Amino acid sequence: MEHSQGSGPYRVRAFPVRECSVPEQTEAMRFDCRDAADLYARAMAHHRQLCVIVEKLAPGGCWLQLSSVG
C-alpha cells in the first residue's frame, strides 16, 4: 500500500464535525492512488469504528471530498 504523511493527491481523514471549511493543515494519511486511499478508509472505518472521508487535491489547491465511509 502506497502511503505517507506528506505526499500524494489523495488523503483520508476523520469525518469532520461542524466544519465550515477544510483547514490548510490537517492530520491525514496521503496516498498516490485512489484505490489505496479507499482501501485504507474502509479499514480505518472498520477497525476504529469511526467515519472517515476520502479527498483529492484539485489543481487549484483545494481538497475535494470524493467519498465517506463508516
Residue 49 C-alpha cell reads as 469504528
Whether residue 7 is predicted with pLDDT greater than 70 in this model: the reply is yes
Residue 54 near residue 34, CB atoms below 8 Å = yes
Per the prediction, the chain carries an average pLDDT of 85
User: What does pTM read for this prediction?
Assistant: 0.80
CB atoms inside a 10 Å sphere around CB 41: 25
- 21-39 residue pLDDT tens: 666 677 889 999 999 999 9
Q: What is the pLDDT of residue 1?
A: 46
Residue 53 C-alpha cell reads as 472521508
**Percent of the chain beyond pLDDT 90?**
54
What is the rounded CA–CA span in Å between residue 48 and residue 34? 21
